[in-house]
């Protein structure tokens, strides 16, 4: 079975491939298909975007496609950045730009006002159009400064209460045991395994 990851994000590809180890599936990415259309993530929800990406890529490749959309929701910002997490600081922004904007908006708020939740929605689309979706969550809070050298995205500012450290401080091994994406991927792995058996 071949599975196309509907993302160009090298960090995501690396993380997803690592988390999908152990199942009999050949993992490809849209980088293996240079002529694929660009998919606009213009949905109102993470689920909308994940489904749109997976269905589009499955249709064009004729293979199973897996897409995720991940968002960070900060309670004191009314759930922002949410579906706009990747482009929070504007078009073409980098990870550091998003982190700096978030820290600036939260200012000197105390930790109990910095509660946040990471949510990952994964869509698995069959070439025929059927879609399976799962999600994973982790609760935490936004720290007051950028800390750690591992991970990507908001990892340097997202604090995990049980560890008192950011995802970026914990490192990939620990992050992949507890993260929102790992929880969602564990669920989708079971779906993939059932498909392989069938």
User: What span, in angstroms and rounded, lies between the C-alpha atoms of 76 and 148?
Assistant: 24
Q: Which two tokens stand for residue 40?
A: 């606009």
Q: Catalytic residue numbers? A: 69
Q: Which two tokens stand for residue 6?
A: 């509907």
Radius of gyration of the chain (CA): 17
* C-alpha distance from residue 61 to each of 33, 100, 110 (Å): 8, 38, 49
User: What span, in angstroms and rounded, lies between the C-alpha atoms of 116 and 78?
Assistant: 10
Q: Inter-axis angle of helices 180-197 and 10-19, to 10 degrees?
A: 60
Tokens 């790992």 — which residue? Answer: 182
DSSP state for residue 114 in the 8-state scheme: -
User: What span, in angstroms and rounded, lies between the C-alpha atoms of 121 and 103?
Assistant: 25
User: What span, in angstroms and rounded, lies between the C-alpha atoms of 139 and 157?
Assistant: 13
Phi, psi of 85, rounded to the nearest 5 degrees: -55, -45
């Amino acid at each position: 079975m071949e599975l196309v990851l509907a993302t160009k994000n090298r960090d995501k590809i690396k993380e997803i491939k690592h988390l999908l180890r152990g199942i009999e599936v050949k993992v490809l990415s849209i980088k293996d298909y240079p002529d694929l259309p660009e998919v606009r993530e213009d949905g109102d929800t993470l689920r909308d975007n994940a489904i749109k990406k997976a269905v589009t890529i499955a249709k064009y490749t004729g293979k199973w496609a897996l897409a995720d959309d991940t968002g960070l929701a900060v309670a004191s910002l009314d759930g922002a950045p949410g579906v706009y997490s990747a482009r929070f600081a504007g078009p073409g922004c980098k990870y550091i730009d998003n982190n700096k904007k978030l820290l600036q908006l939260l200012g000197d708020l105390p930790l109990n006002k910095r509660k946040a939740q990471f949510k990952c929605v994964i869509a698995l689309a069959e070439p025929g159009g059927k879609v399976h979706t799962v999600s994973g969550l982790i609760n935490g809070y936004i720290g007051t400064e950028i800390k750690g050298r591992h991970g990507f995205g908001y990892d340097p500012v997202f604090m995990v209460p049980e560890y008192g450290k950011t995802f970026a401080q914990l490192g990939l091994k620990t992050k992949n045991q507890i993260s929102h994406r790992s929880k969602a991927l564990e669920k989708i792995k079971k779906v993939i395994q059932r498909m392989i058996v069938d």
